[in-house]
Amino acid sequence: MKNIVLFGPPGAGKGTQADFLKTLYHLIHISTGDVFRNNIKGNTALGLLAKSYMDKGDLVPDKVTIDMLKDEVDKHPHAKGFIFDGFPRTSSQATALDNFLNAKGTPISAMIALEVPEQLLVERLLNRGLTSGRPDDQDEAKIRNRFNEYETKTAILVDYYSAQHKFIGINGVGSIEEITDRLRKAIDSL
């Protein structure tokens, strides 16, 4: 079983790449953003709470995120593995994910980070905001706040997974196919 944390700042291409990787490796793609949006669309209590944070460009608190993620993993008891896209975002989330998956006997195989310069990410998100309808992709100040949140709270996960010898950095600039090929080589080496 391969459990991959696909990591990178907002706009790095995690969702796009996860779509290819889930097919290549027969994995279940769990996008925290999609889980949030599905809960928000369904007007669940957790969804409405998550929305109040997302609308401000802030990260959703760990307890809310972890509860949603556990529910999603438990929906797939026969999975060959998971691609976690957008989770974990903090060291406490990473510890909770490790504890949850280790208890199931299926630890994280690797954290693979897509590395992209910030200005290119801002351009990608503003362009995505033109068609996605997502308010957090239409305001550059909110986008930059998300990068600040990422840098101050999330980037420390590189150290967390490096200490476990599970961190792999991948150049996230280039064509979709080039990036997919880099990711495939990294996953095949696990």
pLDDT digits (tens, 9 = 90+) for 157-189: 999 999 999 999 999 999 999 999 999 999 999
pLDDT of amino acid 62: 86
State the CATH number of the domain containing residue 17.
3.40.50.300
Mean pLDDT of 137-155: 84
| Residue 52 CB neighbour total at 10 angstroms | 11
Residues annotated as catalytic are 14, 89, 128, 134, 146
* pLDDT band at residue 65 using 50, 70 and 90 as cut-offs: confident
Classify residue 42 by its DSSP letter. Answer: T
> For residues 100 and 73, is the Cβ–Cβ distance under 8 A?
yes
Torsional class of 29: left (φ above 0), alpha (ψ -120 to 50), beta (otherwise): beta
Q: What distance in Å separates the CA atoms of residue 144 and residue 20, rounded to the nearest whole number?
A: 28
Please tell me the pTM assigned to this model. 0.82
pLDDT of amino acid 91: 87
Domain count, the chain: 1
DSSP symbols for 113-141: EEE--HHHHHHHHHHHHHHH--GGGS-HH
* pLDDT band at residue 151 using 50, 70 and 90 as cut-offs: confident
From residue 112, how far is each of 7, 129, 135, 157 by CA, in Å? 6, 25, 28, 11
Domain interval for residue 107: 2-188
Classify residue 156 by its DSSP letter. Answer: T
Two tokens at 138? 């239409």
Q: What distance in Å separates the CA atoms of residue 19 and residue 24, rounded to the nearest whole number?
A: 9
pLDDT of amino acid 54: 79
- Mean pLDDT (the chain) is 90
Continuous H helices in the chain: 14-25, 32-41, 45-54, 62-74, 91-103, 118-132, 140-149, 157-163, 176-188
Q: What residues pair up with 93 in beta bridges, in sequence order?
A: none
